[in-house]
Chain A
Amino acid sequence: MPSPKLRVATTSLAGCFGCHMSLLDIDERLSSLVELVEFDASPLTDLKTPVACDVGLIEGGLCNAENVRTLLLFRRECKVLVAVGACAITGGLPAQRNALDVRDCLESVYLTGVGLEGGTIPRDRELPLLLEKVHPIHDVVNVDYSLPGCPPSADAFWAFFEDIAAGRAPRLGHGLIRYD
């Protein structure tokens, strides 16, 4: 009897979806991947809420309250949680606002920037509240593995899936660890 497929959920928090694009860059290996895994909640399936998954891949860091809620949900529902890419691991590009005051940022973007007139800072209950600082995900939850890179290469994703599907602790070999 074939072993059951791994249930994999993915999400992008304060990220650019570049890591998801890189996952798709495994190209023809995608057909092998679907033999190994089944996607649960993910931008690839358009399902929003992960339920009882084996693996959760988190792209992006935490820049607002909704990011934190999503991350906590993934941590609760995924046996193995993986920080994917520079933003999940370090906060990345969004975290470069950490030296600035959030209000100053918003005022500069919506009120006082060059060419702006009569603007307002968006306030709507639909919009999640920004955090004072952008955080890597390990600031909030325990992370089991990290796939560094901006983005991690397709080969790094593939090595990760091969290991995890074989029941091995994922280990990125030579040339697969990149921070950029």
Chain B
Amino acid sequence: MTTDRRTFTLDGHDIPFDEGQSVLDAALAAGLFIPFLCHKPGYEAHGSCRVCMVRVGGRWQASCTTPAAAGLEVESTVEDLVAMRREIVQFLFTEGNHFCPSCEASGNCTLQAVGYELGVTTPHYPPFSPTRPLDASHPEMLLDLNRCILCELCVRASANVDKKSVFALSGRGPTKHLVVSAESGRLADTSFSADDAAAHVCPVGVFLPRGQGFRTPLGARKFDVEPLRVAALRRAGGT
């Protein structure tokens, strides 16, 4: 087979890419996995979680926002990068209130799945234990900000797909948090609906549909059936 597609290398493997494709998307399409969290196929890359960091020509960059280019030499599965990814996941668990055993998103949670992938067994750092609100104002959906990891997937979905811009991040540093576009600050006073794309993109357990709970039994949940690596490569059409 011959190909005239241009390539870059990832850990020494030749990766073909299409014009405009990111390093992450090209790697996944070629069947090589780079762990990621705030990225979702079909959504504009955001580069905020830093889990997909790689080293390109000696510089550390988020692979989801780095355009693939011919001749790039990218490192991913190397000890210091893997250790750093593990630490980022530990930071995220430390920063919020993530109690997996009682979380309805457990088993369907991408943060959890990334932790499994990276072999994270403990958050390691002293927990922040922040006090964060639960917005139960909306008739269809609970908003539990205890688990928010500030990935902005709901922000992107609401603005770009639903064309509603219901969500935004406010504040900086440790005070950064998710807000909704209502003077009252209540989800019920926005144009949000449970049918919105924004209601279904959360990688953790912030958006919880009301009137149901723990519908899928242990063993049948998303990442029980298929680890993140397998699911991501299958979706990307890799091998």
Contact = CB atoms under 8 A, between A and B. Distances in A.
Contacts of B218: 180
Nearest to A149: B101
B116 to A, nearest CB: 5
Q: How large is the interface on B (under 10, 10 to 19, 20 to 34, 35 or more residues)?
A: 20 to 34
Interface residues of A, number: 29
B127 A179 contact: no
A83 interface: yes
Contacts of A148: 121-122
B122 A146 contact: yes
Interface stretch (A30-38, A64-72, A111-119, A132-140): A132-140
B99 A138 contact: no
Interface stretch (A5-13, A20-28, A48-56, A95-103): A95-103
Contact of B121 (A96, A98, A136, A146): A146
B120 A138 contact: no
A145 B131 CA distance: 29
Contacts of A172: 119, 121
Interface stretch (A73-81, A85-93, A120-128): A85-93
B124 A86 contact: no
Interface string B222-233: 000001000000
A93 B101 contact: yes
A113 B124 CA distance: 37
